[in-house]
Amino acid sequence: MDLDRQIELARIALKASGAQQWEIAAVHSDRVSIGVRGQEVDKFQQSTSSGLAIRVVREDRLGFAYVIGGDPQGIERAVGEALASAQASDPEPGFSLAGPVEAPPSVEVFDPELAADPVEAKVARAKQLAAAALEADPRVVHVQPAEFSSAVSTLRLLTSHGLDFIHRGTTASAGALAMAAQDGEQEMGWESHSARFLAEIDPQALGREAGRRAAAFLGARPVGDGRYDVVLDNSVATQFLDLLAASLQGDSLLKGRSLLGGKQGSQIVSPQVSLVDEGTLPRGLGSGSLDDEGVAMSRKVLVEAGVLRGFVFDRLWGARAGQDSTGNGMRASLKAPPGVGFSNLYLEPGSAGPQELESRLERGLVISEIMGGHTADPVSGEFSFGAAGFLVEKGRRVRPVKSIAIAGQVLRLFQAVAEVGSDLRFFGRQGSPSLLISHMSVSGP
């Protein structure tokens, strides 16, 4: 059954259900993923899926259900489950579903070239990725996985208040894991990139970087314990931004789980740090005209020169806080209701390139990898991660470093930002440039 027919059946059932308000989120997606081993395809996945997520409001109580595939019986069942879910929920008297949006912003997120890209071209890119990683350095001996994937999706969002919105988007991603070996030692290097538009994916450049990273760590060893000035690579800085980001969400604030409660308008981090969530960023992976609840997306400055300016909310947590949604209602999938999330959260770049930041180090470290990022506590902000990178003396890289640990607290880390790089890069929906951090605690084995 096509998506329009599923929507019509759900709409008929919802109108007859007695719900005060209702919402239908209908999604159709086509996905392809190709992996190679050597120059032979060893992974081929192609799928098409569709389904509906339904929310209802009845007696001020909010209910949710979903159905994948969308046969008539499944749709009827999902409407009944949404009503039963509402009956079991607490009242949300300030909550309302979206109505029509006048002149929503236009955002470039659909690439016709990617939507029409043939499978043979995807296979060729995966092979290019693997070949480039092997050719990057003679010490690279193995590459797996080397993968290219793409997705084309359509979301149609309707409500009982008259919203009827269609969003079409494309994504492509490529990544490779290379292994380098020398004198019985082995090191791994990973590089990947995701983008809305096919032209922004360069398989050969990604493969070369994966191979280069693997070879660069051969001969790595620890450094001694101490406090070092450190340059965090943009990929590592983004992982620390993710740890801080949890405290900028309105649901964390109202649950008492934010490090930033009661600090709006206060200096919370270095004046070098400004954080923006930009829902209309051209070609951003999290960009759109409307969020997943039908609220117009926009640019929001959350931290300005170190001063906390605000938090992000969806419709539900905004209502609980007595304020409007900020356009940050996001769905992880059809199988869960929208929650508070970021569109494209990033730390605004400075003017110094990463090499300039390294040149500031008399004796310090470049941290290019951290391990165990998921173990950090977002409530306390405390972290202790394994790390690897390079020892820098008098502004020059001396040797690779591994088997060290970095520890601290995320607010204090961002308070210690001495300079922000110019190399802003997104990793998914979050991004950061490289950061120069003063006096980070480092320990060896």
The rounded mean pLDDT for the chain is 96
pLDDT at 143 over 90: yes
pLDDT at residue number 1: 64
184 has a pLDDT exceeding 90: yes
Q: Which residues of 129-147 are buried (b: 16+ CB within 10 A; e: fewer)?
A: bbbbbbebbebbebbbbbb
Tens digit of pLDDT for each residue in 223-237? 999 999 999 999 999
Neighbours of 226 (CB within 10 A): 12
Comparison of pLDDT for 83 and 144, the residue scoring more? 83
Q: Are 94 and 127 in contact (CB under 8 A)?
A: no
SS3 letters across the chain: CCHHHHHHHHHHHHHCCCCCEEEEEEEEEEEEEEEEECCEEEEEEEEEEEEEEEEEEECCEEEEEEEECCCHHHHHHHHHHHHHHHHCCCECCCCCCCCCCCCCCCCCCCCHHHHCCCHHHHHHHHHHHHHHHHHCCCCEEEEEEEEEEEEEEEEEEEECCCCEEEEEEEEEEEEEEEEEEECCEEEEEEEEEEECCHHHCCHHHHHHHHHHHHHHCCCCCCCCCEEEEEEECHHHHHHHHHHHHHHHEHHHHHCCCCCCCCCCCCECCCCCCCEEEECCCCCCCCCCCECCCCCECCEEEEEECCEECCCECCHHHHHHHCCCCCCCEECCCCCCCCEECCCCEEECCCCECHHHHHHCCCEEEEEEEEECHHHCCCCCCEEEEEEEEEEEECCEEEEEEEEEEEEEEHHHHHHCEEEEECCCEEECCEEECCEEEEEEEEECC
Residue 376 has pLDDT above 90, yes or no: no
pLDDT confidence tier of residue 69, bands split at 50, 70 and 90: confident
Q: Is the confidence at residue 70, as pLDDT, over 80? A: no
Q: What is the mean pLDDT of residues 306-322?
A: 97
pLDDT computed for residue 377 by the predictor: 87
What does the domain layout of the chain look like in residue ranges? 3-215, 220-445
For residue 25, pLDDT over 90 is answered with yes
Q: Which pLDDT band, with edges at 50, 70 and 90, does 180 fall under?
A: very high
**What does pTM read for this prediction?**
0.95
Q: What is the pLDDT of residues 274-287, one digit of tens each?
A: 999 999 999 999 99
State the Cα–Cα distance between residues 345 and 266, nearest whole angstrom: 20
> Could you tell me if 303 and 274 are in contact, meaning their C-beta atoms sit under 8 angstroms apart?
yes
Residue 374: pLDDT band (50, 70, 90) is confident
Q: 20: closest CA among 56, 55, 64?
A: 56
Select the CATH number that applies to the domain covering 3-215 from these four: 1.20.1290.10, 3.40.640.10, 3.20.20.70, 3.30.2290.10.
Answer: 3.30.2290.10
What is the predicted pLDDT for the residue at 39? 87
Instruction: Say how far apart CA 36 and CA 170 lie, in whole Å.
Output: 23
Q: What is the mean pLDDT of residues 170-186?
A: 97
Q: Is the pLDDT of residue 38 over 90?
A: no
Cβ count within 10 A of residue 42: 13
pLDDT greater than 90 at residue 11: yes
Q: How many whole angstroms separate alpha carbon 173 and alpha carbon 33?
A: 9
d(CA 416, CA 413): 5
- Mean pLDDT, to the nearest integer, of 269-274? 98
How far apart CA 82 and CA 311 sit, in angstroms, is: 29
| pLDDT tens readout for residues 71-123 | 889 999 999 999 999 999 999 999 999 999 998 989 999 999 999 999 999 99
Over residues 286-303, the pLDDT tens digits come to 999 999 999 999 999 999
Separation between Cα atoms, residue 67 and residue 428, nearest integer Å: 27
CA 151 to CA 169: how far, in whole Å? 8
What residues pair up with 275 in beta bridges, in sequence order?
Answer: 303, 347
